[in-house]
Chains A and B, each alone.
Chain A
Amino acid sequence: MPDWLIALIPALPLAAALWIGLTILFGQANGEAHERRTSRLALIASAGSFIATLLLIAARLAETVPDQVTFGGWLTSGSYQVDLNFLTDGLSLALLAVTTLASLLIARFAVNYLHREAGFHRFFMILSLFTAAMTVLVMGGNAVLTFIGWEIAGLCSYLLISFFQDRPVAAGNATRAFVINRVGDAGFLLGIALAFHWLGSVDWSTVNAGAAGLSTTQAGILAGCFLLAAVAKSAQVPLAPWLARAMEGPTPSSALFYGMVMIHAGVYLILRLQPLFEQSHIAMAIMAIIGLATALYGFLSGLTQTDIKSALIFSTTGQVGLMFFACSLGFWRLALIYLCCHALFRGYQFLSAPSILRQMHGVRTRPVSNVLAQRSGLYNAALQRFWLEEAADAIIVRPVQRLAGVLIRFDTLVVDRATGLPAPAVNALSSVAQWEEHQLGAGRILARAPGAIDQEPGILAQATEWTAAAFHQVEEQLMLKSASQGLAVAGDQLGQGLHRIERWLGRSWASMALFIVILAVLAGISGMMAETESGAKSSGFPLLSALLIVPLVGMLAAFRARQAQTAFALGLTTAVIELFLAAQLLMRFQPQTSGMQFVEQFDIPGLHAHLGVDGVSILFLPLTALLTLFVLLYTQSHRQQQAQPGRFVASILALEAALIGMFTALNLLQFWIFAVAEIIPAAFLIARYGTSSARNRAAGHFLRFMGSGLAALLAGIGLLGWNHAAITGGNWSFALSALLETPAPASQQSLIFILLFTGLAVRLALFPFHAWLPIVARHGTVAVGIVFLVGVKVGVYALLRFVLPLLPSAAWQWETGVIALGLAGMLYGALLAFRQSDLRRLLAFAVISQSGLLVAGVFSLNPAGLRGSLLLALNLGLAASGLFIVAGLIYRRLGTTRFYRLGGLFETAPLLGLVFLVVVLGSIAMPGTPGFEAAHLALEGLLESHGWGVATLAASGNVLAAGYLLWAYQRIFLARPPQDVAQPMSDLRHRELIMAGLLCAVMVGVGLYADPWIKTIGGAVDEAAHRLEAVAGKGHHAPGAH
């Protein structure tokens, strides 16, 4: 007896099912024409299976077949092994014979019965699949194979109950039947898993053999699992009702499934597991109760049925119940014989039912039987099928549905709100926007544009919004008012003089005169430097002096230019030369050395001027040059709007010169002078070229703030110099190298530190010294905004360059306070950014927020933190400038940057949108932009020095930044545009495209490969950090290492 014959039994009908299925799917089995082919295929397959079964039985009788045939492994996972093995013992063969015979007979019957029915082909496919499944079920040598047949048979049953797809009742019944079957399947699965867990195998032979070794409880649980499966499959009480509903399918299927074959699968399972069940008396007892109850249920309910198919099905239920009962009493063999006889007899009854129906047409329904007629209560109960289904509905189905309903509400109202992370961005801002729209009377038009967000704010969102609102109040009531009143009063002594300057600036010639005087002095200094060059480490050509002189020369040349073209040509040439020089500097720079390079020094009366760069300052020079170039490119592309272009270009170049001067100064006084020199052209640019009528007020604000900052700075520098003089005996000096040799006594360090830090904090726009920045950003020109952003970073630079080396012990002492201030400022700026209704103001608060993070990073006072902050400063110079440039480009096109006037720009200006997105991602430190490595290092520094809480807080700044920046992006570029505003928006023009492309290329290029830059700054920064750590080691204050 070859093994392949055994494999043929399930394989033939499976192949037939697959083939018919494929022909249906690809439209090759349509209607009557192909009926013959389909039915033949199914018949041949069934017949083949049946013949193979007969041969197998013959071989079995001749005793040439073992009990179990294995075809190899199927599924392996460690010790869990499922083989493809088939049982050929008496039990399997008996059922196999019944199954294959039944399917052969029914297939033949259905050929005529379903002739010209819509689902003819579908029926034969399901029938063949079912035959295959049943043969696997009864032959499967292990629980998994049996389960596969078990479940696929259930699927076939589902498909046949819902065979007439248009009938809603059929569809409902099918679903119900399948779900109840699935309850049994869950039991089966649990049985499989437990069998593997306890017995180590899922083979039926092992399970039965091992059953004796199980404890009573284990055997009871295992038997209970399989009993549940059998009860569901064989429609026993309490899972019986699905069977009556299954009569919706075509008659042949009813006969096959519920009369002959599938209904008996449960009995088969129990017979198969006879040794297991014998181990558990409880399981046997339950089985007896269930069997008996079902027999009664089937009998009584059957009596009330008026339809032949229903009567038959209840009879079947009852009979199968008796089989369960027989098993439970230990009459296993009886149950098997009973099963086979019942199957064939019942099959015949079902198949003849349609003919009987036809014959009986018009005959009176049969009367109620005597048993029930006299007992109305029992009759009612039987008629209602003992309310089993209603009970199940009430106990399980409806509560589950209600629970589902509750959970849906829970999901939207609780979970979505509680985890409503995005809501701060969306809601806090949209409420501001709505308020603003309301104020401006635009509310009705924009009130609820389709696509507007109408989500409930989350709990986090609500909290964020409240905090933001509170901060907003503080900002409006205290900061801005005190900035314009209180602070002004406080600084009035100083303010008097500055007011005069401000008035001067109204008359541009006067201010320009002053400006020229200062710059002329500087130019003179530079000229002298070129002569008195002392090339300690310099490389011949005085690059730093050249860097200073070139913009000054360009400025003087451009100042007189009348024509915009000339002015910008001069300006751009200068900027390009400057960038070239800066690049030269960078290339000649030796990254490994930590000391000053390209040093040039000389004496002029009262000032020992000293120029040099090291790793800390080197990268700022090309950045400044690059951004100046951006500014000029930006303004050039709409030069027709500029009045007096020559002066504009000259001011920008003057700013550049001043910034370069600050970055190269190694003498504190010299630094201070350059800082003063910087604010004059800046104020001029704000006052003269600002974008709103309030620009003069903005310039005034700017001057007052900077003035106070510079005063504090000067006081601090003075104290340092005085201290030096006190130590060296009246020898005044402000040179960094000299001051380093004479550290200030600890008693004075704190005072000096506070003075210097405050002075720089104003420059940095660090909370609470930031109030000038939003005003300047809102009213000043975009160009100034950009230059300032480099300027803002001057603050970080100066902290690193002067404050930390000169005042190390004070730095350690104030470290915690400064970090707290920085982080507070970061949160403050971020939350306020959420409340802004103007893009440029939003960006200003973003810068304030980032300044906070920068300062916190610097004051982690370890190499990682210092490196990170320095890189971050450079990155933010790029990214924030990019943001301002985009804001400027939008302003230039639409004349506004207020959110309620913007929307949907991505459709008309996709390139602009992409540029904005790249810089947004850069400023929120996405990997692939320079911010990533920088933020990574800064966080690492903070984590190292201050542990979890602080680092987490710092990182949350990035999350908030992502919130408001992406919100702004969405609002401007993606949201539906306001309908009343016509937006003839053009995309980037050529010059703008060059500028934007350059910006993005630099960001992504540096971001993906930041290593050279880190190497460049590495030496100097590590040196600084070591110096700090040395102080901490011997100092009075323990380093904050945790």
Chain B
Amino acid sequence: MIPEPAAAPFNLPILSLLIILPLAWALLLPFLRETRTVRIVALAGAVLELALSLLTAAALRPEVAGMQFVEQTAWMPSLNVHYLLGVDGISALFPPLTALLFCAVILASWTSIQFMPRLYFALLLALEGVTMGVFCALDLVLFFLFWELTLIPIYFLISLWGIGPERRYAATKYTLFMLAGGVPLLFGMILLGLHHASAAGLNFDYRVLLEHPLPAPWQTPVFLLLFFGFAVKAPLFPFHTWLPTVLREGPVGLSALLVGLKLGVFGILRFALPLAPAAAREFFWLMTVLGLIGLIYGALVALRQSNLRKMLAFSSISHVGLVIAGLAAMNLQGVQGAVFQLANFSIVAGGLMLMAGFLHHRLGSTDLASLGGLARPLPRFTALFLLLGMASIGLPGTNGFIAELLMLLGILQAAPGVAAFALLGVILGAAYFLGFFQRAFLGPVTQPAIASAMDLRPRELLIASIMGLLAVTGGLFPGLVQNVTASAANAWVMQMTVNQDH
């Protein structure tokens, strides 16, 4: 018997609420006077959103493979576009993690944002709302709307609150890269819709498009368009150059969101592969090769970085490479590992980036020249940083290990020859992270500013220890995640192998 999808808790349109609540909150903020009130209200909104997203995740029935909590309303009948939301076991993981990361970012920006705090927090919440939309949208056009809407708050966050001298350049660079990535996406989606139009009427409903796979000659362009469109945002080598720039110049909170929430990879997972499975199988080598190049390339470049935030940027590029290769394996281990790793990013990469921000707040820089010997004055900071770092290089006992192991298993089964290259990443990961750790945290204290630096404040300690706790929890109890994703991932793999014999 096929289990029924769960009803939304209290019969609420809960996914719409997830999207609207932060947006409404963002509109509320500009009317507040006191900066303190603004922060508290913003945090309250984010916490409420977190509760709501946890409620969603709790109400989800993981044994159901299909979409749940579906909401559907006609939006643009001329194009047969609907306001269509839904989550399955894969995407349901992300709203709570997103909400958590936003809470952390708001807490982390508590005192470090002094310039126009109302606008800052309003933009953050707006970004949260549209990010939720990206995760929940099931109509391609609606997805694209949310996808592009993320640009606006990000542009402002970078250009107005960036911490580098070239923040405006970084903002423009980011926007243009994303717009350039948006064009192939839009094309791919139009093609999908048009093809469906020639058979059974224009349609952008993800579920309908899944059921009617494209004929093989159409799949190739659609797949390549979607894949490269998403690859820019992922970012996948060679489209990655915006990420180091933005992470170096942008505000730390936003950087944490950019490395923590990999919307581009989510797009590949959700749209690019399942909508063109035959082409995806055909181009499996392309994804694997690009992914592994990214993995090794990012790790090697990270090896020589002298700025913590740039190092984290290249580390993120490296990790994304492995995730793409894991997805390309198109087997259960590969995809479950990839989803697990995507979930980890928001905890581990996001947490590390926030901690880099704490450091920047104290020392005014995250460059090696002004770091050194941090372990003695900042023991707690060092301990938690090391813990998250170990999670990022996949140490057993942390969530990173589970994800990496699963992805390696997946890649090895799909392409035994290249798995060895994936393992190079394991070694290089330790090398670049510990190399940096050694130079920045160990050894004698080099600067007077460091000697007098304050260890983690309670607020910061809260963020870092929650992230650390989650990293360890994920590592010790992987079933928590695996159970949620299992049947949706199974369905995903089935979708990828459909019509394989033809």
Chain A residues packing against B (C-beta within 8 Å) = 21, 24-26, 73-78, 80, 144, 147-148, 150-152, 155, 158, 162, 165-168, 170-172, 174-175, 178-179, 182-183, 185-186, 189-190, 192-194, 196-197, 400-401, 403-405, 407-408, 411, 415-416, 418-422, 425-426, 450-451, 453, 455, 867, 906, 910, 917, 921, 924, 926-928, 932-933, 936-937, 939-940, 943-944, 948, 951-952, 955-956, 958-959, 962-963, 966-967, 970, 974-975, 1009-1011, 1014-1015, 1018
- Give chain B residues whose Cβ lies under 8 Å from the Cβ of A189: 405, 408, 423, 426
Question: Shortest distance in angstroms between A144's beta carbon and chain B's nearest beta carbon?
Answer: 7
B190 touches A165 (CB 8 A): no
Chain B 344-391 interface residues, beta-carbon cutoff 8 Å to A: 373, 375-376, 379-380, 383-384, 390
B168 touches A975 (CB 8 A): yes
B165 touches A404 (CB 8 A): no
Q: Which of B35-43, B96-104, B438-446 makes up part of the contact surface?
A: B438-446
- Give chain B residues whose Cβ lies under 8 Å from the Cβ of A186: 423-424, 426-427
B412 touches A148 (CB 8 A): no
- Total A-B Cβ pairs within 8 A: 255
B443 touches A167 (CB 8 A): yes
B442 touches A168 (CB 8 A): yes
B300 touches A959 (CB 8 A): no
- Give chain B residues whose Cβ lies under 8 Å from the Cβ of A970: 159, 168, 171-172
B176 touches A928 (CB 8 A): no
Q: What CA separation (Å) do A943 and B222 show in the bound complex?
A: 14
Interface check B186, CB cutoff 8 A: yes
Also in contact, A451 and B168, with CB within 8 A (given A74-B478, A939-B190, A940-B190): yes
- Give chain B residues whose Cβ lies under 8 Å from the Cβ of A944: 194
**The residue from A148, A179, A190, A955 contacting B423, defined by CB atoms under 8 A apart:** A190
Q: What CA separation (Å) do A21 and B384 show in the bound complex?
A: 11
Interface check B180, CB cutoff 8 A: yes
Q: What CA separation (Å) do A172 and B426 show in the bound complex?
A: 19
- Give chain B residues whose Cβ lies under 8 Å from the Cβ of A1015: 77-78
Interface check B470, CB cutoff 8 A: no
- Give chain B residues whose Cβ lies under 8 Å from the Cβ of A408: 301, 304-305
Interface check B341, CB cutoff 8 A: no
**Count of chain B residues with Cβ under 8 Å from any Cβ of A?**
96
Interface check B416, CB cutoff 8 A: yes
Interface check B279, CB cutoff 8 A: no
Top 8 A-B pairs, shortest CB-CB distance: A171-B442, A927-B145, A148-B396, A78-B332, A422-B176, A186-B423, A168-B443, A193-B412
21 residue pairs bridging A and B, Cβ less than 8 Å apart = A77-B406, A77-B409, A78-B331, A78-B332, A148-B401, A151-B395, A178-B430, A182-B430, A182-B431, A404-B303, A404-B304, A416-B241, A425-B172, A926-B151, A933-B79, A943-B190, A943-B191, A958-B183, A963-B176, A966-B172, A1018-B78
B177 touches A421 (CB 8 A): yes
- Give chain A residues whose Cβ lies under 8 Å from the Cβ of B437: 175
A415 touches B241 (CB 8 A): yes
Question: Shortest distance in angstroms between A704's beta carbon and chain B's nearest beta carbon?
Answer: 38
Interface check B109, CB cutoff 8 A: no
B176 touches A152 (CB 8 A): no
B444 touches A166 (CB 8 A): yes
Q: What CA separation (Å) do A24 and B419 show in the bound complex?
A: 40
B332 touches A77 (CB 8 A): yes
Q: What CA separation (Å) do A413 and B24 show in the bound complex?
A: 44
Interface check B460, CB cutoff 8 A: no
Q: What CA separation (Å) do A228 and B171 show in the bound complex?
A: 47
Q: What CA separation (Å) do A974 and B175 show in the bound complex?
A: 14
B79 touches A80 (CB 8 A): no
A959 touches B438 (CB 8 A): no
**The residue from A75, A400, A951, A963 contacting B478, defined by CB atoms under 8 A apart:** A75
Question: Shortest distance in angstroms between A659's beta carbon and chain B's nearest beta carbon?
Answer: 27
- Give chain A residues whose Cβ lies under 8 Å from the Cβ of B48: none
Q: What CA separation (Å) do A190 and B78 show in the bound complex?
A: 54
**The residue from B180, B303, B396 contacting A401, defined by CB atoms under 8 A apart:** B303
- Give chain B residues whose Cβ lies under 8 Å from the Cβ of A415: 237-238, 240-241
Q: What CA separation (Å) do A966 and B333 show in the bound complex?
A: 43
Question: Shortest distance in angstroms between A863's beta carbon and chain B's nearest beta carbon?
Answer: 10
Q: Quick one: CB contact mask for B223-236 with A, threshold 8 Å, 1 for yes? A: 00000000000000
B160 touches A451 (CB 8 A): no
B176 touches A926 (CB 8 A): no
A921 touches B190 (CB 8 A): no
**The residue from B75, B176, B427 contacting A182, defined by CB atoms under 8 A apart:** B427
A152 touches B396 (CB 8 A): yes
Q: What CA separation (Å) do A44 and B402 show in the bound complex?
A: 31
B402 touches A179 (CB 8 A): no
B413 touches A197 (CB 8 A): yes
**The residue from B145, B179, B305, B438 contacting A928, defined by CB atoms under 8 A apart:** B145
A1014 touches B482 (CB 8 A): no
**The residue from B152, B187, B412, B444 contacting A921, defined by CB atoms under 8 A apart:** B152
Interface check B466, CB cutoff 8 A: no
B148 touches A411 (CB 8 A): no
B376 touches A166 (CB 8 A): yes
Question: Shortest distance in angstroms between B232's beta carbon and chain A's nearest beta carbon?
Answer: 9
Q: Quick one: CB contact mask for B293-307 with A, threshold 8 Å, 1 for yes? A: 000010011011100
Q: What CA separation (Å) do A422 and B172 show in the bound complex?
A: 7
Residue of A nearest to B390 (CB): A155
Chain B 454-489 interface residues, beta-carbon cutoff 8 Å to A: 461, 465, 478-479, 482, 486
Q: What CA separation (Å) do A251 and B447 show in the bound complex?
A: 31
- Give chain B residues whose Cβ lies under 8 Å from the Cβ of A975: 168
Question: Shortest distance in angstroms between B304's beta carbon and chain A's nearest beta carbon?
Answer: 4
Question: Shortest distance in angstroms between B495's beta carbon and chain A's nearest beta carbon?
Answer: 15
A192 touches B304 (CB 8 A): no
B180 touches A421 (CB 8 A): yes
Q: What CA separation (Å) do A197 and B409 show in the bound complex?
A: 8
Besides the known contacts A185-B426, A422-B172, 7 further A-B residue pairs in the complex with CB atoms under 8 A apart: A26-B461, A75-B479, A77-B337, A182-B431, A190-B412, A416-B241, A936-B186
B190 touches A425 (CB 8 A): no
A422 touches B173 (CB 8 A): yes
Q: What CA separation (Å) do A328 and B473 show in the bound complex?
A: 41
Chain B 395-436 interface residues, beta-carbon cutoff 8 Å to A: 395-397, 401-402, 405-406, 408-409, 412-413, 416, 419-420, 423-424, 426-428, 430-431, 434-435
